[in-house]
C-alpha cells in the first residue's frame, strides 16, 4: 500500500501534503499510469527540516554503537523486503528485476552495513605540544543534511548519502526522484520499522521545485546532489545565496574506454557491450566513448557489432529473467535519446541499432555510431542511453588525449595486457575513477566522484564519511 501513498514521511509520521501539486508516474515498459506522488512544498519542507533540527543534538549524542545497530537493522529490513523493492523499481523505471534484485537492493543494504561499521571509528587527532600548548582535533557532525537523488539507481544512491550522514551523527532529509519514487517510499516505511528516533531520517516526495526549496533552505547545513550538470549548478547557486551550506555533487559523465592492441579481446568486448548497456546505459559512469587501437579496430568493431545485435534480443519486459536491457526511464528520456540518435545519423556512420524498439514502452535498440567528429553532439554530450560512439587511435599518447577530450571526468576504462601501461595511462586520465580490464565498479571502501564538470566531493569509503564531519581544532594551555 505504501507504493501509492501521496505523502511525505516527516517526523516519524506519514503526513499528507498540503500542496495540490502532484506528479504522475508511468510504467516505462507499458506506458500505463502506476500512481501519483505528492510534491512537497514549503510547508512540508519546513516541517521536515524542523523535525531534523530538533532531532540533531540527541542523535549526535547517541552512542555510536546504538547508531550502528539501527543502521544494521535497517540493512536487514532492506534485504528482507527485496521483493517489494524490486517491484517498485520495475514499476517506476523499468529496471530489470534481475538487476534490481541481484545488484541494486543488496548493494543498498551493504552500504548501510559498511557505514554502521564506521560509526564507532571516528577518531580525533593530537599533535605534539608547542611550548605550553597541546593541540587536538575532533570531528563533529555537520547538522541537518539534505540529499537529492537520481532516478536511475534510486535506493543505491540514497544509501551513499544517508548511511554516512547518519553514522557520523547527522540527521537527514532525503527527497525522492519524482520519476522513480516508489522504492524510496518503501524505505520510508522501513525507517519506522527499524526504530530510528523521530526526525532523524526524513523522506519527502517531490519534484524540482521541492529540490530548490532544500537547496535554498536557511536551516539545512549540507546538501548532496546526484544528477545533471545544469541542476548541479542551480544547487551551488542556491546554496551560496542562502546560508553557504556545504555541497557535494555527483554529476554527469562522458566516459572513455580505451582498448589497446594487447588487450584481452573477449574481456574488452564484454565490458563495452554488457558493461556499457547495464541499466540501459542509464548510468553516469557508462563508457559512451570507445577508442580502439587502429591495428585491431576492424576485428574488434565487427565483434562489438555482433554483441550489440545479440543483446538487442535481450531488450524487453523488465520482469522477465531473460531481459538484460529494460526500457528507458520515461517518455521524456525516450524522446531525448531518440533525438540524439537522429542527430547522430547526420554526424557519424550508424553501425547498428538506431531505432525505437516496438511501439509500446520506452525501448530503444542498442546503438553504435562510428567516427563522429570531435565536435559532434553524440561525441560531446551525455546521452544517458544505449548510444555508443566508436573511434580509433594509433598511439598511447593519442589515446590519452582523446580520453581527456571532454568537459567531464567521472570515469574511464583501460584495456591492456601491459600492467605498466595500465598504470601509466590510468594516471594520465583526468577522471575520478578508472577501471582496468573491466568497467569501474563502485566499491564500499573506495571514494567515488569526478574531476572537472563531473562534480565535487566524494562519496563512499572513508572520504564519504568525512564529507559529513567537520574538524574542530582545540588548543589547550598546559601552563600551571
Residues annotated as catalytic are: 250
Backbone angles phi, psi at 455, to 5 degrees: 130, -175
- Measure the CA–CA gap between 154 and 175, rounded to whole angstroms: 11
> Cell 543502521 appears where?
71
- Measure the CA–CA gap between 24 and 258, rounded to whole angstroms: 41
- Measure the CA–CA gap between 21 and 19, rounded to whole angstroms: 5
Give Cα separations from 94 to 29, 111, 170, 179, 258 (angstroms). Answer: 6, 23, 33, 11, 30
Q: How many CB atoms lie within 10 A of CB 104?
A: 24
196 grid coordinates = 530510528
Q: Are 166 and 195 in contact (CB under 8 A)?
A: no
Q: Dihedral (C-alpha) 126, 129, 135, 139: value to the nearest 10 degrees?
A: 0
The Cα angle at residue 413 between residues 408 and 415, in degrees rounded to 5:
150
Give Cα separations from 236 to 114, 136, 170, 267, 300 (angstroms). Answer: 29, 32, 21, 40, 43
- Measure the CA–CA gap between 123 and 341, rounded to whole angstroms: 51
- Measure the CA–CA gap between 121 and 222, rounded to whole angstroms: 22
Give Cα separations from 220 to 42, 245, 325, 469 (angstroms). Answer: 14, 7, 39, 14
Instruction: Give residue 12's Cα distance to chain centre.
Output: 26
What's the start-to-end Cα distance of the chain, in Å? Answer: 67
> Cell 519514487 appears where?
181
- Measure the CA–CA gap between 449 and 110, rounded to whole angstroms: 19
- Measure the CA–CA gap between 145 and 129, rounded to whole angstroms: 35
Backbone angles phi, psi at 439, to 5 degrees: -60, 145
- Measure the CA–CA gap between 303 and 264, rounded to whole angstroms: 13
- Measure the CA–CA gap between 129 and 332, rounded to whole angstroms: 62
The DSSP bridge pattern shows strands 411-415 and 256-259 to be parallel
Residue (of 146, 157, 141) closest to 46 by Cα position: 146
Q: Are 189 and 202 in contact (CB under 8 A)?
A: no
Amino acid at each position: 500500500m505504501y507504493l501509492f501513498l501521496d505523502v511525505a514521511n516527516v517526523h516519524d509520521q506519514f503526513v499528507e501534503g498540503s500542496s495540490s501539486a502532484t506528479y504522475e508516474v508511468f510504467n516505462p515498459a507499458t506506458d500505463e499510469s502506476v500512481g501519483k506522488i505528492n510534491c512537497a512544498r514549503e510547508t512540508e519542507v519546513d516541517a521536515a527540516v524542523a523535525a531534523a533540527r530538533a532531532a540533531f543534538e540527541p542523535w549526535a549524542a547517541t552512542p555510536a554503537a546504538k547508531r550502528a545497530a539501527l543502521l544494521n537493522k535497517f540493512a536487514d529490513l532492506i534485504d528482507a523486503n527485496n521483493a517489494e523493492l524490486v517491484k517498485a523499481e520495475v514499476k517506476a523505471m523499468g529496471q530489470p528485476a534481475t538487476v534490481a534484485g541481484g545488484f541494486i537492493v543488496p548493494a543498498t543494504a551493504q552500504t548501510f552495513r559498511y557505514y554502521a561499521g564506521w560509526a564507532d571509528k571516528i577518531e580525533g587527532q593530537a599533535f605534539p605540544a608547542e611550548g605550553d600548548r597541546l593541540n587536538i582535533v575532533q570531528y563533529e557532525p555537520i547538522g541537518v543534511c539534505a540529499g537529492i537523488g537520481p532516478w536511475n539507481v534510486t535506493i543505491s544512491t540514497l544509501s551513499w548519502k544517508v548511511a554516512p550522514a547518519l553514522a557520523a551523527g547527522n540527521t537527514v532529509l532525503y527527497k525522492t526522484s519524482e520519476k522513480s519514487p516508489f522504492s524510496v517510499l518503501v524505505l520510508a516505511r522501513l525507517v519506522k520499522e527499524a526504530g530510528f528516533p523521530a526526525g532523524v531520517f526524513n523522506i519527502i516526495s517531490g519534484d524540482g521545485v521541492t529540490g530548490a526549496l532544500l537547496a535554498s533552505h536557511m536551516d539545512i547545513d549540507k546538501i548532496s546532489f546526484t544528477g545533471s550538470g545544469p541542476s548541479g549548478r542551480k544547487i551551488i547557486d542556491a546554496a551560496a545565496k542562502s546560508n553557504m551550506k556545504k555541497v557535494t555533487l555527483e554529476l554527469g559523465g562522458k566516459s572513455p574506454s580505451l582498448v589497446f592492441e594487447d588487450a584481452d579481446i573477449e574481456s574488452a568486448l564484454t565490458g563495452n557491450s554488457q558493461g556499457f548497456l547495464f541499466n540501459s546505459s542509464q548510468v553516469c559512469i557508462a563508457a559512451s566513448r570507445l577508442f580502439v587501437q587502429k591495428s585491431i579496430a576492424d576485428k574488434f568493431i565487427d565483434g562489438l557489432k555482433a554483441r550489440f545485435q545479440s543483446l538487442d534480443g535481450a531488450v524487453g519486459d523488465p520482469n522477465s529473467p531473460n531481459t538484460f536491457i529494460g526500457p528507458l526511464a520515461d517518455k521524456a528520456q525516450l524522446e531525448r535519446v531518440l533525438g540524439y540518435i537522429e542527430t547522430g545519423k547526420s554526424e557519424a556512420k550508424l553501425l547498428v541499432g538506431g531505432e525505437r524498439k516496438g511501439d509500446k514502452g520506452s525501448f530503444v535498440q542498442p546503438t553504435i555510431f562510428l567516427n563522429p567528429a570531435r565536435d559532434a553532439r553524440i561525441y560531446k554530450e551525455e546521452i544517458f542511453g544505449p548510444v555508443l560512439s566508436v573511434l580509433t587511435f594509433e598511439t598511447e599518447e593519442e589515446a590519452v588525449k582523446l580520453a581527456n577530450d571532454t568537459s567531464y571526468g567521472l570515469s574511464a576504462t583501460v584495456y591492456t595486457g601491459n600492467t605498466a601501461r595500465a598504470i601509466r595511462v590510468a594516471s594520465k586520465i583526468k577522471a575520478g575513477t578508472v577501471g582496468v580490464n573491466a568497467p569501474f565498479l563502485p566499491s564500499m571502501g573506495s571514494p567515488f566522484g569526478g574531476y572537472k564538470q563531473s562534480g565535487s566531493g566524494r562519496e563512499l569509503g572513508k572520504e564519504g564519511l568525512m564529507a559529513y564531519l567537520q574538524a574542530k581544532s582545540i588548543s589547550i594551555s598546559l601552563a600551571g
